[in-house]
Amino acid sequence: MSLAIFDLDNTLLDLDSDHAWGEFLIEQGAVDATTYRDANERFYQQYQDGTLDIMAYLALALKPLAENTPEQLAAWHQQFMASKIEPHILTRGEELLARHRAKGDRLLIITATNRFITGPIAERLGVDDLIAVEPEIEAGHYTGRVVGTPSFREGKVERLDAWLAEEDVTLDGAWFYSDSHNDLPLLERVDHPVAVDPDDTLREAATQRGWRILSLRD
Active site residue 172: no
Distance CA 46, CA 212 (A): 26
- By the 8 A CB rule, do 196 and 216 touch? yes
Name the active-site residue from 7, 18, 105, 197. Answer: 7
Active site residue 16: no
Name the active-site residue from 9, 16, 105, 183. Answer: 9
Residues classed as catalytic: 7, 9
